[in-house]
Amino acid sequence: MIEKDDYIKARETVENYEKQLDLSLVSSSTCYIMHRTTDDLIFVTTDKDYAERLYNGGDYIIRISQLFNPC
């Protein structure tokens, strides 16, 4: 079990790290979930142009989503 003083020190350290983060850079970004229908390959990309090229080729289903980093 963690001691009270150790917990308080750890919490202060975490708070200091959080203050240093630029949360606007890590909050979220658009991603494209690609599903190739010929063999059920599924992968995720953040490259919109690449995702659209694959989708327009006819072998892929595309889903648009958000990557989120809760830091």
DSSP state letters, 12-65: HHHHHHHHHS-HHHHSEEEEEEEEETTTTEEEEE--HHHHHHHHHTTSEEEEEE
Tell me: pLDDT of 28 over 60.
Answer: yes
Residue percentage of the chain with pLDDT more than 90: 44
Residue 53 dihedral angles phi and psi, to the nearest 5° = -60, -45
Give domain limits for the chain.
4-68
Q: pLDDT tens across 29-50, in order?
A: 889 999 999 999 999 999 999 9
